[in-house]
Amino acid sequence: MLSVPRYALKLVVDRMSADDLCPIEWSRFLDRPVFTLGSSDWSNCIRGKNVLITGAAGSIGSALAMRLMEALPKTLILLDHSKHNLHRLYEAYKQRNVIFPRVEFVQVDILCQSRLEEIFSQYRPEIVFHTAAMKHLVGLESDPFLALENNLLGTIRLLQMIDGSEVECLVNVSTDKAVNPTNVLGVTKRITELLLLGIESHTCKISVRLGNVLGSSGSVGRLFLQSLRNRLPLTITDVQASRYFVTLEEAADFLIASSSLSGSALLLPEMGKPRSIIELASFLEHQLKFTKSNDVNFIGLYDGEKRFEQLTYDHEFLKRTSVDGLDQVCGNTIDDGEEFSNLLGRLLELIFSRSRGDIIGLLMGLVPEFSPSRTLLRCLD
């Protein structure tokens, strides 16, 4: 019988051919304890339940799916729109050579309400991990409807399914880019944070505000690895740029740990101090045993990108939870719920029709701290 190895310390971070892969000891870069859950800490809240993951074939979704296979849920429903990536996940699952849990692979677009209704009716999920999202900052600035539809409308579609269902807990992936957002990715995630906190229902709704996930698709670490393996110059936006980092397995464990808490909340993992992008490049050169440093091209910050990320707003404060390593972000209230609902409704009408209208004004009305980029302003002008 095969088991999935624990990969918090030695993560394979690329989906290239087996000969090209190199385990990266991310803990040496983080320079802090790696967050991990013992089985006794979390398996009881998952065991015997129907668990659904949206975006299951993505980077975080895949790590979460493989981790949850250790917890013996009754049924694990892995939902993704990509047939190709679902097949990759299925191949990884087959290598486990185990009977339990029952795992269902479902190809579906989260925007398709009728298919979601079928899935919720058939499988009756009790816990939902919502990892599906469009997250590539640069591309979304010039194609904002991808973020508006998938990140915002997709979440609302999911909330519609949960309303009146048997779902006990919804865990949503957010990002530090939701704090004082300067891009469409960040503002859609911030609206989602507020929406999940503001809606009253029997379901516990949790958002987890993650930093940069090392090894995830499109992440800076993964791009550096591709350049290093191909002996290409490294591209760095800004000499001072820094980020908060977590590993893929940490992200999965943070999400699982959050599902054990009671009550709706916005949570922030303890991610240590920010690390500079230049430090990450040097670390990966050392890990791959390069004796000569690669050339580095500094290209300047992308439009909508920050030099430094923030973890909280000025009005927010942190409170400890029962899980070491997870703090609750407090201080978020919607002052005028009716106004928020009206603005959101008008925004959704524009998203449905793919009409530019006053999208920028509505986004700034919902998130006053939002500073749209020049690229986004041109696209929605």
Residue 304 falls within a domain, yes or no?
no
pTM of this structure: 0.92
The CA–CA distances, whole Å, from 274 to 69, 116, 248 equal 32, 39, 17
Residue 4 falls within a domain, yes or no?
no
- Does the structure show a pLDDT above 60 at 19? no
Mean pLDDT of 235-248: 95
pLDDT value of position 71: 82
Residue 231 falls within a domain, yes or no?
no
Residue 152 belongs to domain with CATH number: 3.40.50.720
User: What residues make up the domain containing 153?
Assistant: 18-216+244-274+314-379
Residue 234 falls within a domain, yes or no?
no
Residue 287 falls within a domain, yes or no?
no
Closest by Cα among 266, 363, 258, 263 to 316: 266
- For the chain, what is the radius of gyration of the CA atoms? 20
User: Could you give the CA distance from residue 268 to residue 176 in angstroms, rounded to a whole number?
Assistant: 9
Domains held by the chain: number? 1
> pLDDT by residue (tens digit) across 321-332?
999 999 999 999
Residue 105 falls within a domain, yes or no?
yes
Residue 319 falls within a domain, yes or no?
yes
User: Could you give the CA distance from residue 181 to residue 187 in angstroms, rounded to a whole number?
Assistant: 5
- Does the structure show a pLDDT above 80 at 97? no
Residue 286 falls within a domain, yes or no?
no
